[in-house]
Structure 1
Amino acid sequence: MFPVKAAAELSGLTPETLRAWERRHAAVVPHRDDRGRRLYDAAMVERLTRLHRLTDRGHPIRDLAGMEDDALDRLLEESRHVGYGGVETLPGRMLDAIADYRVDVFDRDLSVAIATLPVQVLVARVVTPLLREVGLRWADGRLAIAQERLVSSLLRARLLSVLNQNPREARPRLLFATLPGEPHELGLLGAALHAYEAGLPVLYLGTELPVLEIARVTTRLDTVAVALSSVDPGQAPAALVALRELDGALAPGVPVWIGGANARYLAEALDIARVQAVTEPMALVQLGRHRLGNRNSR
Structure 2
Amino acid sequence: MYPIKAAAELAGLSTETLRAWERRHGAIRPVRDAQGRRLYDPATIERLSRLHRLTDRGHPIRDLAALDDEALDRLLDDGRQAAYGGVETLPSRMLDAIADYRVDVFDRDLSVAIATLPMTVLLTRVVMPLLREVGLRWADGRLAVAQERLVSSLLRMRLLAVLSPPPREQRPRVLFATLPGERHELGLIAAALQAQDAGMPVLYLGTELPADEIARVADKLDAAGVALSSMDPEQARPALAELRQLDRVLAPAVPVWLGGANARYLAEELASTRIQAVTDVQAIARGRVTPAGRG
TM over 0.5: yes
Instruction: Tell me how far apart the structure 2 counterparts of residues 231 and 93 of structure 1 sit (CA, whole Å).
Output: 27
* Amino acid in the other structure paired with 2:123: V
Whether the aligned pair in 1 keeps the contact of 2:199 and 2:285 (CA below 8 Å) is no
Whether the aligned pair in 2 keeps the contact of 1:185 and 1:207 (CA below 8 Å) is yes
Cα deviation code 1:179-237 (max 9, x no counterpart)? 11111111111111211222222211221122222111111222211111111111111
Match of 1:284 in 2: 281
Match of 1:267 in 2: 267
Instruction: Tell me how far apart the structure 1 counterparts of residues 145 and 255 of structure 2 sit (CA, whole Å).
Output: 32
Does the residue aligned with 1:205 lie in a helix, a strand or coil?
A: strand
Change (3 A) 1:189 1:291: same
Task: Tell me how far 1:173 sits from its aligned partner.
Answer: 1.5
Q: Which runs of 5+ in 1 are unaligned?
A: 1-15, 18-54, 59-77
Q: Which runs of 5+ in 2 are unaligned?
A: 1-8, 11-48, 54-76
Change (3 A) 1:264 1:134: farther
Instruction: Tell me how far apart the structure 2 counterparts of residues 287 and 243 of structure 1 sit (CA, whole Å).
Output: 20
Does the residue aligned with 1:204 lie in a helix, a strand or coil?
A: strand
Task: Tell me how far 1:118 sits from its aligned partner.
Answer: 4.0
Change (3 A) 1:249 1:271: same
Whether the aligned pair in 2 keeps the contact of 1:131 and 1:190 (CA below 8 Å) is no
Does the residue aligned with 2:89 lie in a helix, a strand or coil?
A: helix
The higher relative CO (CA closer than 8 Å, separation ≥ 6) is in 1
Whether the aligned pair in 2 keeps the contact of 1:152 and 1:185 (CA below 8 Å) is no
* Amino acid in the other structure paired with 1:289: R
Change (3 A) 1:292 1:258: closer
1:252 aligns with 2:249: no
Instruction: Tell me how far apart the structure 1 counterparts of residues 257 and 120 of structure 2 sit (CA, whole Å).
Output: 23
Instruction: Tell me how far apart the structure 1 counterparts of residues 227 and 124 of structure 2 sit (CA, whole Å).
Output: 20
1:68-147 to 2 correspondence within 5 Å? 82-84=81-83, 85-137=85-137, 143-147=143-147
Instruction: Tell me how far apart the structure 1 counterparts of residues 241 and 229 of structure 2 sit (CA, whole Å).
Output: 15
Aligned length: 220
Q: TM-score, normalised by structure 1?
A: 0.64
Change (3 A) 1:138 1:171: farther
Task: Tell me how far 1:90 sits from its aligned partner.
Answer: 1.2
Change (3 A) 1:83 1:105: closer
Whether the aligned pair in 2 keeps the contact of 1:178 and 1:228 (CA below 8 Å) is yes
* Amino acid in the other structure paired with 2:211: V
Match of 1:243 in 2: 243
Task: Tell me how far 1:292 sits from its aligned partner.
Answer: 11
1:144-159 to 2 correspondence within 5 Å? 144-159=144-159
Match of 2:164 in 1: 164
Task: Tell me how far 1:116 sits from its aligned partner.
Answer: 3.4
Instruction: Tell me how far apart the structure 2 counterparts of residues 170 and 286 of structure 1 sit (CA, whole Å).
Output: 22
Match of 2:197 in 1: 197
Instruction: Tell me how far apart the structure 2 counterparts of residues 187 and 149 of structure 1 sit (CA, whole Å).
Output: 15
Instruction: Tell me how far apart the structure 2 counterparts of residues 144 and 243 of structure 1 sit (CA, whole Å).
Output: 35
| Structure exhibiting the larger radius of gyration computed from Cα positions | 2
Instruction: Tell me how far apart the structure 2 counterparts of residues 106 and 285 of structure 1 sit (CA, whole Å).
Output: 29
Match of 1:214 in 2: 214
Q: TM-score, normalised by structure 2?
A: 0.64
Whether the aligned pair in 2 keeps the contact of 1:224 and 1:291 (CA below 8 Å) is no
Over aligned residues, Cα RMSD in angstroms?
3.3
Does the residue aligned with 1:87 lie in a helix, a strand or coil?
A: coil
1:228 aligns with 2:228: yes
